[in-house]
A and B are shown apart, each in its own frame.
Chain A
Amino acid sequence: MFHSKRSYLLLILFAITAFVGLGFVACGDDGEEGPQIGSVDVLGLWGDEELVSFEAMVAPWETDTGGDMAFTGTRDITTVLATRVEGGNPPDVAIPAEVGRFQQFAREGKLTPLSACKGLEETVKANYPQGFIDLGTVDGVLYGFFMKADTKGTIWYNPKFFADNGYEPLTASSTWDDLIALSDQILADGTPPWSIGVESGEASGWPGTDWIQQILLNEAGGDVYDGVIDGSVPFTDAKVKDAWEKFGEIALTEGYTVQGGAEGINATNFVNSSYPPFESPPTAAMVYLGGFASGFITDQFPDAVAGEDFDFFPFPGGGVTGGANIVYAFNGDETTCSFLNYLASAEAQAIWVNRGGFTSVNSQVSLDSYPDAVARAQAEQLATAELFRFDLDDAIGGAIQLAEFDGVTQYLANPGDLDDILSDIEASR
């Protein structure tokens, strides 16, 4: 009895081994049929509508090549990506928003240069703005390209409310003082001029850093801005401090925000903060958030018409900050290269541009592809900006980015501690 049971077990073991072995052999046979487009594993940020649009964008590639995209979308992409790379199981392609970690991966030799894919580097160098090419380059090698850009030089307002009350939208050549004058005028008429919310879970504070970097770029110029990123200008510099205080002037002046000051701003989610100017009647006049805010507005107010019910004017001062998703690869095999070549192309990006919510930095994508005037104006602002800089904290990344987020929430709660906060941010570098 005992004996026969054991042989039975052995038989099962043998069967399993044989089965697995056969499987391997079968796979080997498959591979010998020559190079073929297989499945590409992509890690990105998108879900919901954005994912539907991305899949629509990828669909022609899947049909044409017989390839298949396996997409994992997570807001926690920095963490997931770091864990997978550390564990030796990186995705084929990553599409995050932050470039600090990208530079680290590149320096550690984990990434594949775009030159490994035939024609890709040439396409990117010919059709993408130099600023984005520089950002994708680490130690002289091009590792990544940018898609789905967002301008962060946009102040959203309600055109009807402005027209009814005789307020003039500002222009790129307006100044900071004009912005304060407009705010005072609106406040004097009885409406809080601003809506600000910086709550965003673990990343709470980032909308404040957007304000500060936009002010810094306009008031202190591109060189100081670049210096803060590379470390030659510390956060404790007087010009940086001035940008923080100007942000405080808007956020902390009595009556300026519908949130009623620091506590409300810290506790209001950034998505919800984009609604007040478009309620009826509006409970605030303006909200400063990147181009992506048009999506929040149309989600909340489905009947709102771009250009009539909501529109933006450029952040006064002429400089434009913005963010974008960077695309980079952890290997250079046939499938990955074919996928990257497709994503970088104008015809692929025009698909999502046309669906809305996507601004392309590929110069071959026609402005006519954009679904409405507001979306087109965003693309134009990015394309024609004389002074453009990539989002400051996304460019630095890592601990200092989180420190800056925390600095914003602490500054709002305790504006008197600004000097300590700035030196604490610098200490995280």
Chain B
Amino acid sequence: MVGRRWWTPWLWLAPALVLLGVFLVYPVVDTIRRSFLDERSKNFVGFDNYQFIIDNPQPLVSDTHSALLNNVMWLTLFTVITVCLGLILAVLTGRVRYEAVAKSTIFIPMAVSFVAASVIWRFMYEFNTEIGTVNATVTSLGGEPTAWLQDTGAPQTWLTQRGPDTLPQPIQINNLALILVGVWMWTGFAMVVLSAGLKGISTEVLEAARVDGANEWQIFRRIIVPILSPTIVVVATTLVIQGLKKFDLVWVMTGGRFKTDVVATLFYKEAFRIGDFGVGAALAVVLLLWVLPVMVIGIRRFQFQEETR
């Protein structure tokens, strides 16, 4: 027999490793390197670029504080709303007769190009009531049109207390409008994955609970949710990462203007629009450090599931 040489597995791995190296490892290392260099990546500036993010010296053109807070908004609201809606829809669609039709309808936004969906929603939110469906509905019910994508005000008066002077108000009408579009796109995904998990719960368990006299709410709360919790975590981590790296939707709908910038749009703007590669790279590194723990949790969880299978 022609023996297996030690390098045989490496040979088969090589294409993947080369691709990973060129398109992942090298850019990451280079981004970290550039985050310590000046705007043209020539001179070493230490932690100046990170200081820029903390000090926020140019609040008009690159509001770093607002971008970080908006990312927190995306992270929490987007994830929580999408998971909850997805779970409710998974349970409900499992009980209707036209399950396939209902699920496909909810899943369709996921199949639309995100940029196309963003363009569509720009029209939906348009201020001019002859174009904007949302404002046309509002005015036909007797309300005043709202500039959904430009209004930085808080949606409710009880939320209008401002934070400290240097911090922007995180809960803005336009941020919520953007996040709702994200929810619209991703609910289908959450529903489908959770629904698959739901189908995996054996009917004996549910029937046993019913025999014991549990009502539907108790079954949902005490049995379905705990059994589904590993799946929920997987869905939630995916959504958290999506929320953190959100770019397309914000860029197409507002261009990050009117205080809707998130870290991903801001680093693109800094690096490529303004031409400051230092600050751009530093923002990218901040985003990477932020995503990293979430990814680790996600992968751990996945491995744990694989082992217990």
Contacts and interface: CB of A to CB of B under 8 A. Distances in A.
B149 A267 contact: yes
A64 interface: no
B133 interface: no
> Would you call the interface of chain B mostly helix, strand, loop, or mixed?
loop
A194 to B, nearest CB: 16
B58 A427 contact: yes
Given A202-B251, A263-B150, A399-B274, A409 B58 contact: no
B257 A409 contact: yes
A267 B147 contact: yes
Interface in A237-278: 263-264, 266-268, 272
Contacts of B54: none
Contacts of A424: 58-60
A2 interface: yes
B59 A409 contact: no
Interface in B252-284: 254-258, 269, 272-277
Interface in B219-261: 251, 254-258
A82 interface: yes
B51 to A, nearest CB: 15
B275 A406 contact: no
Contacts of A204: 150, 255, 257-258
> Would you call the interface of chain A mostly helix, strand, loop, or mixed?
helix
A148 interface: no
A231 B68 CA distance: 31
B258 A266 contact: yes
B274 A402 contact: yes
Nearest to B252: A201
B34 to A, nearest CB: 11
Nearest to A425: B60
Choose among B61, B126, B277 the residue with the greatest number of A CB atoms under 10 Å from its CB. Answer: B61
Contact of A83 (B58, B258, B272): B272
Contacts of B146: 263
Contact of A428 (B61, B150, B255): B61
Contact of A409 (B150, B273, B275, B277): B150
A203 to B, nearest CB: 7
Contacts of B274: 398-399, 402
A202 B258 contact: no
Choose among B128, B269, B277 the residue with the greatest number of A CB atoms under 10 Å from its CB. Answer: B128
Interface string B37-72: 000000000000000000001111110000000000
B150 A79 contact: no
B2 interface: yes
Contacts of B257: 201-202, 204-205, 405-406, 409
Contacts of A104: 275
A345 interface: no
Contacts of A83: 272
A403 interface: yes
A204 B274 CA distance: 16
Contacts of A264: 127, 147
Nearest to A3: B2
A262 to B, nearest CB: 9
8 contacts: A79-B272, A204-B150, A264-B147, A267-B127, A267-B147, A407-B60, A424-B58, A428-B58
A264 B151 CA distance: 10
B8 to A, nearest CB: 12
A94 interface: no
